Structure 1
Amino acid sequence: MELLTIGAFARACGLSPKALRLYAELGLLTPAVVDERTGYRHYRRDQLEHALLVAWLRRIGMPLARIRLVTGQSRADAAREVAAFWREVEADVAARRPLASFLVDHLTGKGPEMTDTPRPLVLRCAARTDRGLVREQNQDAAHADARIVAVADGFGPSGERASSLAVDTLVDGPPATGDVLGALRLAAERAERSVRLLTADEPDPGSGTTLTALAWSGSELALVHIGDSRAYLLRDGELTRLTHDHTLVQTLIDEGRLSAAEAESHPQRTRLVRALHGGADAAPSRPDSLLQQARAGDRYLLSSDGLHRVLPDDVLRSVLLEPADPEAVLDELVRRVHAAGAPDNVCCALADVVAA
């Protein structure tokens, strides 16, 4: 039996030795022989066809968990699975196209045509929290005014106090003058320190909270975000998610180890990898941030996972498209969550950008 070293096998199939070691750990492509003394890996030549299939599937972006499924099927079933995966890719690209357009507009400063007498913009806002139909306690907090819009989803024994403290720290801070994003970042840092003090004596990871917040100044909106609460923008009829979930399953999706469909039933789908929390070994929060020019007609939705895990994006878009005031829109969103069982606390805030 002819054996190839890992280097020779890597050159023959187009996969790097690092990738081959990872696939071996996952049981996706196991070496034929591993030297007990040196640890050197060797592969049979007849494993090349399997390795090439893995390489091709990775090139089209298929997650490793799904590749394991495909490579264990018959050729006909594998072909159907690849076709189904590619339909999902095309649908995902279509869904993300509005975000790409938004980013192009944001980075180039493109906006509506300027007039000689531009009208100032203001926010028209509302916020809601709801215990839901299953939880005994409401650990979510929300706030909305003409300056700050925020949602926070607490967790742990002191989660209710942590979420309220984080939001209150933002609201009670000094108003932004000039650098609205810098001011909001400083406010988020103060919120993190407050939550750390609150939870300092709790065992790691203890209690904590997510935080997603908008700050308004002139026509600029600053965003800070950490955790799995979300911020959405409805602009010109297109719904765009502005935030990225800081969860274990999202990390696995980003690394290609898990598909979005598999993440829905993952036993650790709500496990956070970044949040505002204390504990002896708690890492710095590192919130994401964004600054953009708002437009008249923009509608921003901030929500905890008790809302967006229950209502899919197409439902959110259909409700947000209704020309109702923010209070009525949030009432309808909460009503729909209740109709779907409301398994978690519900927290949401809405901000419409309107000409004064």
Structure 2
Amino acid sequence: MELLTIGAFARLSRLSPKALRLYDELELLRPARVDPDTGYRYYTASQLGRARLVAWLRRLGMPLAGIRAVCALPPAGAAREIGAYWARVEAETAVRRDLAAFLVAELTGEPGRDPMTMLELRHSAHTDRGLVRPANQDTVYAGRRLLAVADGFGPAGRSASGAAVAALRFLDEAAEPPADGLLGALEDAVRRAGEAVRDLTGGAHDAGTTLTALLWTGSRLALAHIGDSRAYLLRAGELYRFTRDHRVEPRSLLLLKALTGDADPVPDLRLHEPLPGDRYLLCSDGLTEAVPDARIAELLSGGAGAEGTVRALVDAALAAGAPDNVTCVVADVTGPVRAPAAAGRPATPGEPVV
């Protein structure tokens, strides 16, 4: 086996000797041989592919644990992992972009809806065991200010989803909107929900819950999301999806993030400015796994009220076999009570999903 000096290997891999020494220290690219007397590193030509891959993944910003995982996979698996990582980066960047735009508008006083303009939210909720599962582990809540769906899993799934939603209910029962802002209040509440789930499960990793919640003030909405339940918006006949599934792969049952006994919750957070005529849907994956987005959009646009639409959505999942629990909340925005002082039209969340 012919060995290459670190200088020769650096030239061939287009990496600096300093970078190669760093990758050695990080255990990402170990030399084939280290001289016991001089400490000089030697490599083989067969290591060039891994060297370039490590360098590219570092430039991509992938964490060290992710790089190790990718390097241990065959090419097809590595490609899937890189694609999943970049999808998460883009989704997280979009959430931060929305928050940054909101903060810029707030701090510069750009015109928007008068904060005293109060819209109304009329909603209906329903949960069903489905046709296969022996029990319903979903929990749903629809109150004056708070809408929430939690999908429990594992031996204590039902209790976990109930505890998570219960930890948020104080937001609905408060006499006034949160003084520290919608996002801050929701983030703190999700942290409490995580603590409640940990206390319940005793630190076990095989039980937990998703959580998707909307907090309403009458002029703004805040979203907190972790797991693979979903939030949608129907606006002017177009269906938009607010959330991304925190799954290992699109069709996987394994969640990257959820409220469990062994992890601190890190939810996606975003602010949204509603319009009269908007219709929101929160649902567990028992609906979205059984009913495609196109059919969901059709039912949401069907002209029925919130209660009739919820029933139609659940019935559609049951007609499709409903292998999982099915939970839905539909909320309609009506109003305003009085006209806004400034006519700023909120942007839609992105491209329609259908």
TM-score range, shorter chain: 0.5 to 0.7
Choose from 299, 313, 316 the match for 2:296: 316
How far apart are the structure 2 equivalents of 1:314 and 1:121?
Answer: 28
Cα-to-partner distance string for 1:231-268 (whole Å, 9 max, x where unaligned) = 22333444433334334x1xxxxxxxxxxxxx2455xx
SS at 2:126 equivalent: strand
Give aligned pairs, total: 314
Q: CA RMSD in A?
A: 5.0
Distance 1:291 1:169, change over 3 A: same
Equivalent AA in structure 2 for residue 305 of structure 1: D
| Match in the other structure for 2:144 | 146
SS in 2 for 1:149: strand
Partner of 2:212: 212
SS at match of 1:219: coil
Tell me the CA shift for residue 121 of structure 1: 0.8
Say if 1:114 and 1:161 are closer, same or farther in 2 by CA, change over 3 A. closer
TM (normalized to structure 1)? Answer: 0.65
Instruction: Decide which of 246, 252, 258 is 1:274's aligned counterpart.
Output: 258
Distance 1:122 1:105, change over 3 A: farther
The one-character-per-residue Cα deviations of 1:30-51 (angstroms, maximum 9, x if unpaired) are 999566978956233x987998
Equivalent residue, structure 1, for 2:229: 229
* AA of the residue aligned to 2:118: P
Out of 193, 201, 216, which is 1:199 matched to?
A: 201
1:311 counterpart letter in structure 2: V
8 Å CA contact 1:230, 1:245 repeated in 2: yes
Letter in 2 for 1:212: T
TM-aligned CA deviation for residue 153 of structure 1? 0.9
> Which residue, out of 187, 190, 194, partners 2:189?
187
2:166 alignment partner in structure 1: 168
Q: Post-superposition shift, 1:13?
A: 4.5
Q: With structure 2 as the length reference, what TM-score do the two structures score?
A: 0.65
C-alpha spacing 1:333/1:33, structure 2 compared with 1 (3 Å): same
Change (3 A) 1:333 1:49: same
Question: Is the CA contact (8 Å cut-off) linking 2:95 and 2:268 kept in structure 1?
Answer: no
Measured in 2, the distance between the counterparts of 1:39 and 1:341 equals: 64
Deviation at 1:219, TM superposition (A): 0.4
Moved more, 166-175 or 126-135: 166-175
The 8 Å contact of residues 144 and 350 in structure 1, kept in 2 or not, is answered as no
- Matching of residue 125 in structure 1 with residue 109 in structure 2: no
Is 1:307 the counterpart of 2:291? The answer is no
Where in structure 2 are the equivalents of 1:50-199 lying within 5 Å?
106=102, 109=105, 120-173=118-171, 174-175=173-174, 176-179=176-179, 180-181=181-182, 182-199=184-201
CA contact (8 A) 1:228 1:246 kept: yes
Task: Give the aligned residue type for 1:346.
Answer: V
2:257–2:265: 8 Å Cα contact kept in structure 1?
Answer: no
Check 1:177–1:265 CA distance in 2 against 1; reply closer, same or farther (3 A cut).
closer
CA pair 153-172 structure 1, distance change in 2 beyond 3 A: same
- Matched residue, 2:44: 43
* Percent of aligned pairs sharing the same letter: 45
For residues 341 and 264 of structure 1, do their structure 2 counterparts lie closer, same or farther at Cα, with a shift above 3 Å needed?
farther
Match of 1:252 in 2: none
